[in-house]
Copies of this chain bind each other. A is one copy, B any other.
Amino acid sequence: MAIDHLDGRIIVLLAREPRIGVLEMSRRLGVARGTVQARLDRLQSNGVIRGFGPEVDPAALGYPVTAFATLQIRQGQGADVRAHLATVPEVLELHTTTGTGDMMCRLVARSNADLQRVIDRVVGFDGIVRASTAIVMENPVPLRIIPLVEQAALGE
């Protein structure tokens, strides 16, 4: 479960050039092919690398508006609300949290006007008491993992 330096280099290399193969990686890293293969297998069975799914840009799909919604849930309705939100395609992500809200979700929509429809659909459910929404304007730091991997690979 601990990540060493070589693991880190493999992940970073893979993140920068996803289409790269095991053989080319072994050349770049200066190790034997079998080593890279074994490390990759281990990283995947460890769960460190969950997969290699395509990163799809919702904006390019026609959903350029992103928003975060904080939801307050009626006591005991949590499971129902989770199930409800899971059926809404525009809900890309859902977390239960501590703090003022009970849940936090990431939404996308076709436009600001369409966002209203999405929010109506999200909150149009009995267990949800209140929703507060923040529309994303810019995304200065897109979801990233490389710096964290490098930190984990160095000092541990």
A residues apposed to B, CB below 8 Å: 1-3, 11, 14-15, 18-19, 46-63, 66, 68, 70, 82, 85-86, 88-101, 104-106, 108, 132-145, 147-152, 156
Tally of this chain's copies: 2
Q: Tell me if A's interface is mostly helix, strand, loop or mixed.
A: mixed
A-B CB proximity, top 10 nearest: A99-B134, A94-B141, A89-B147, A18-B52, A97-B134, A50-B55, A48-B60, A82-B140, A96-B138, A56-B145
The answer to whether A148 touches B53, judged by C-beta atoms less than 8 angstroms apart, is no
Residues in B whose Cβ lies below 8 Å from that of A66: 95
What separation, in Å, do the CA atoms of A2 and B138 have in the docked complex?
24
Q: Nearest chain B CB to A136's CB is how many angstroms away?
A: 5
Partner of A137, one of B61, B86, B98: B98
Residues in B whose Cβ lies below 8 Å from that of A57: 47-50
